[in-house]
Structures are given as C-alpha cells and as structure tokens.
Amino acid sequence: MSILHRATFLTSAARLDQLPEPGGPEVCFVGRSNAGKSTAINVLTNQRRLAYSSKTPGRTRLINMFGLPDPLEPGQHLGYLVDLPGYGYASVARDAKQQWADILGDYLRHRSSLAGIVLLIDIRRGVTDLDRRLTDWIAPTGKGVMALLTKADKLPFGQRKTAVFAVTKQLADIGSLMALPFSATARIGIEEATDQIENWISPKVVP
C-alpha cells in the first residue's frame, strides 16, 4: 500500500503564517484553477473526497494540508501533501488574485520543508502565462517539478506525446523537470506520479 493512501486532512490556512512550522517533507500541488489539483490528490490518495473537487472553478481558496502518518510511529508524519489555491479564475476580483499570487509566491520561494512540486496543467491548454509566472518563482529554488498533464483522457495517445514534448520544451529552464500525461478518470500516470511523490517524501537510497 502506498504511504499516500494513508493521507488524512490536517489543516486549512488562508495565509502562510497560519501553516504549521515547517517539519517533514512537503509535496505541493499547484496549477490553474480547474486544472485538476484536488481530483489528482483524491486519486493519488485513493480517497474520494479528501481534497474537495468541483465543477465550479476557484473552489479551493485555502491552502489545504494533508498528513501522511508514519505506520511505525503513531502520531508522527512521514511527510505532507499541500493543495495550493488555483490561479487564473477570471471572475475573481483583482485584490483576491493578487493575494493568491502572494500566497503562492511566498510558499514556493520560502517554505523550507518543500521537497517537490507537482504542477498540474490541463493537457489541452498547455503552459499558460500564469503557469510561466509560477515557474519563474520555482526555477531559482532548484526544487524538483513533476508536471502532470491532466485530463489526458481527452486526447488520443499521439497528441498526448506531442503535449508532453511541448511542455518539456517550454519549461526547460526548470532544471529538474519531468512531465507526463495524467488522468484521474482513465487512471493514466498514477503509478509514475505516486513513485515520484513517495520518493520526495522518503527518498529511496540506491546503494
């Protein structure tokens, strides 16, 4: 059983300073509103409604933090998953947009326990200007990024490959990037994504 399946909800925060002190490794999920962050967390943790997912974009406005309990040490966590607020939702007021940008920028650049970043991009949309703004914050940190090209079920196999190629090229300035097609509904890329996240949380030592 994956350690991700043990995830439990820990806390929500509207601001970075409301999060618990940095502790074990954190893997965060970022991306445009409606890209499929909450759905990805649900499928990766094998839980139907751990992270809320919705047909109404802009639903997740808080930082939601989930703990991965250590099976050998009751009460301790091996690491954390963090669902960050989606960006780019058109009908949100300017102030609120700026506030989200501040939260995201702050978290990505300054959260010391951040171990890896899952960037969700709708496979039909590709990399947008807002995604670029985000990756401009990420690139200097040197943190690893896994781009999940979500809703891959909407494209035939050949076009998925083209999309992966395009994203890899556009995000080449992120030193440590992997990109793969992902679908919660058709269960594409789940195993690869799980392996990468587990490896960020508890790196496997290769002798």
Ligand X SMILES: Nc1nc2c(ncn2[C@@H]2O[C@H](COP(=O)(O)OP(=O)(O)OP(=O)(O)O)[C@@H](O)[C@H]2O)c(=O)[nH]1
Contacts of 149 (CB under 8 A, 6+ apart): 121, 122, 123, 160, 163, 164, 167, 179, 180, 181, 182
Establish if 38 lies at the interface with Mg ion (CB under 5 A): yes
Whole-number Å distance between alpha carbons of 83 and 66: 8
Helix (H, G, I), strand (E, B) or coil at 162: helix
Compute the distance between CA of residue 102 and CA of residue 79 in angstroms, rounded to an integer: 24
Question: By 3-state DSSP, what share of the chain in percent is helix, strand and coil, each rounded to 5?
Answer: 35, 25, 40
Instruction: Confirm or reject binding of residue 60 to Mg ion (CB under 5 A).
Output: yes
The correct pick among 25, 58, 79, 116 for binding ligand X (CB under 6 A) is: 58
Does 45 bind ligand X (CB under 6 A)? Our answer is no
Interface with ligand X by CB under 6 A: which range of 18-26, 65-73, 136-144, 147-155? 147-155
Binding site partner of 58, from ligand X, Mg ion, none, Cβ cut-off 5-8 A by kind: ligand X
Residue nearest to ligand X (CB): 86
Which residues here bind Mg ion, judged by CB under 5 A? 37-38, 60
Which residues here bind ligand X, judged by CB under 6 A? 31, 33-39, 53-55, 57-60, 86, 150-151, 153-154, 183-185
